[in-house]
Amino acid sequence: MAQAKGRKIAIGLIGSLLLTFAGLLPLRAAERLEVQLDGMVIPVLIDELLDWGRNGGSSRSEFSTWLTLLDTESRVDLLELFDAPLLTHQSMGRQMLRSWAGHQLLEALSNLLRVDDDSSEVVLFNTLEKLLNNQPAVSTLDLLEALPSESVRLDLDALLQVASRWRRQLQQQQQLALALGSLPATSAPALVGVSDKQIHRALPELISLSVTHRNKPLPLEVWHPSGDGPLRPSLVVLMPGLGGSKDHFRWLALSLSKKGWPVVVLEHPGSDAQAVQALLRGRRQPPGAEVLPERLADLHAVLRAYKDSQFAFPGQKLVLIGHSLGALTALLAVGDNPEPGLHSRCRKALDDLPLTNLSRLLQCQLVDVQIPMQQSIPELEAIVALNSFGSLLWPRHGALDLQVPVLFTGGTLDLITPPLSEQLDLLLATQPHLASRVVIVEGASHFSPVRVDVQKEKKTSDDLFKLGTELVGVQPLNVQSLLAVEIKTFLEQVEAGEVLKGSMHKQVGDLRLHRLDRAAVERLRNAQ
């Protein structure tokens, strides 16, 4: 079940990227296709392939006869790939394809589908554009039917290799989920998280911070401690991920402020929710790893303001919390630039089309991004990295030289930053610290920590993160409640100078949460 859901997620994610440039070629559609299969080149009528794909693999054509050479699993893979929607949103897709990540994916895909020898990408772009002018969605079969070329070759052998690697990646993640699911868990009572009513009633202070690296002030949301407990000695700085908004993480800011932590939530213009809305309207290209220098400058501007007492908080320590790209910002901020050899690691990673770890596209974009030299942050007490990534940046054990404890969190349904290769490997990449840990929630996804209207009720929403259950994961509001408790527990232990005393596994309602120490992470990785 998890594997099938994972395939749907991956198809949806990759499908959102596959749109087109511009320009049309007034050529006729191809009638014949050369299919490379099992070392042979088989001439096939396009109509035969379409008949096979659109009838669920049931056909009496010559093409169908050749496909009997494949095992059942491979035929199912092909049907899913042929039926996958390549295009679903015209304006967004045009801009996505102009991005670094979109180009990498299309370049790889054009190697599978060769059109007129050297012009594959151009022809693909133009054909997709023409199709979108006439229909709301385009599948692989639609593309094959419309390709305006006399010479089209489909490398089915290579396509099957991609599908096989994709399947193995998903199986590895499923093995992790099964391994976690087999661990005995202690039942715990259901948690009551912050309600939407509490979030909407909360009144954080809105600050416009003047900065030298932007034309406009940096918008901040400041949450003053509001609970009955003691005032904490650390300021929490929270950074949303790519396309994220302050609103998406109010649940966490409110949870922490009620327990005595002052919280500052950043808005990163140019890579926030407004930037993605502009993308959807076709007004700009999608933000990627190129925004990291500006995000780092945003963070350091906030830290300078804190040192200069521009915030009315007496504490002198600092906690960084980030989601996805926000987590990477936190890791880079301490001065740990990527390990040498990123270019060669990325060449290998991108050859495999990382459909089940889309963060690798962002990681590899850093080959072309100059990260300014960062200074250490003496006030830093801890880092909380939600759905973090960086396995290509710091591939060795101990390569990430952090002098503070780190909490990594992830979910078993995350195909953007999968926990096996990202959160687990990132913990091992850090210098050993007795308080560091990984928290994995079964059924949680990359977007489980993102609080949006569509999660609250069964209704439509204008939120840009209008995500279906396959992307949001299982019970996102309950996942947020679990994460809030784990983050508060971690920060309290760090504050008290306590160490992590072994792993913990608990069942809360229908959710299972695993708090893993370094030894447990080592065992899980060695078992793969």
Judged against a pLDDT cut of 90, whether residue 197 lies above it is answered with no
pLDDT at 278: 57
Unique residue bearing structure tokens 């296709």: 33
Mean pLDDT score, 323-335: 94
- Token readout for 325 is 């790209």
pLDDT at 20: 24
Judged against a pLDDT cut of 50, whether residue 4 lies above it is answered with no
Judged against a pLDDT cut of 50, whether residue 390 lies above it is answered with yes
Helix (H) or strand (E) holding 410: strand 406-411
- Indicate the pLDDT class of residue 98, thresholds 50, 70 and 90: low
The superfamily (CATH) of domain 185-526 is Alpha/Beta hydrolase fold, catalytic domain (3.40.50.1820)
pLDDT at 11: 38
- Contact partners, residue 405, CB within 8 Å, separation at least 6: 382, 383, 433, 434, 435, 436, 490, 494
Q: What is the pLDDT of residues 398-438, one digit of tens each?
A: 999 898 999 999 999 888 899 999 999 999 999 999 999 99
Judged against a pLDDT cut of 60, whether residue 440 lies above it is answered with yes
- Report the share of the chain in percent with pLDDT over 70: 80
- Per DSSP, the three-state class of 53 is helix
DSSP per-residue letters across 337-390? PPPTTHHHHHHHHHHT--TT-THHHHHHHGGG--PPPPPP-TTEEEEEEET---
- Token readout for 62 is 């010559």
pLDDT at 376: 86
| One-letter amino acid of 241 | G
Q: What is the pLDDT of residues 144-176, one digit of tens each?
A: 888 887 778 888 888 777 777 777 777 888 889
Which has the higher per-residue pLDDT, 117 or 340? 340
Measured between alpha carbons, how far is 420 from 380 in angstroms, rounded to an integer? 27
Q: Mean pLDDT, the chain, as a whole number? A: 81
**Ranges of CATH 3.40.50.1820 domains, the chain:** 185-526
Q: What is the pLDDT of residues 231-287, one digit of tens each?
A: 899 999 999 998 788 889 999 999 999 999 999 999 888 766 666 665 555 555 667
- Per DSSP, the three-state class of 154 is strand
Q: What is the pLDDT of residues 460-484, one digit of tens each?
A: 444 434 455 556 778 899 999 999 9
pLDDT at 14: 36
Q: What is the pLDDT of residues 60-75, one digit of tens each?
A: 777 777 777 778 887 7
pLDDT at 105: 64
Residue 385's nearest CA partner among 305, 472, 486 is 486
pLDDT at 106: 64
pLDDT at 8: 41
pLDDT at 243: 79
Which has the higher per-residue pLDDT, 209 or 76? 209
Which has the higher per-residue pLDDT, 347 or 279? 347
Angle between helices 72-83 and 46-54 (to 10 degrees): 100
pLDDT at 21: 25
pLDDT at 90: 54
Judged against a pLDDT cut of 60, whether residue 330 lies above it is answered with yes
pLDDT at 274: 67
Residues facing 115 on adjacent strands: 152
CB-count burial class (<10 Å; 0-12, 13-18, 19+) for 270: middle
pLDDT at 164: 76
pLDDT at 171: 82
pLDDT at 235: 96
- Indicate the pLDDT class of residue 7, thresholds 50, 70 and 90: very low
- Indicate the pLDDT class of residue 179, thresholds 50, 70 and 90: very high
- Token readout for 454 is 């569509």
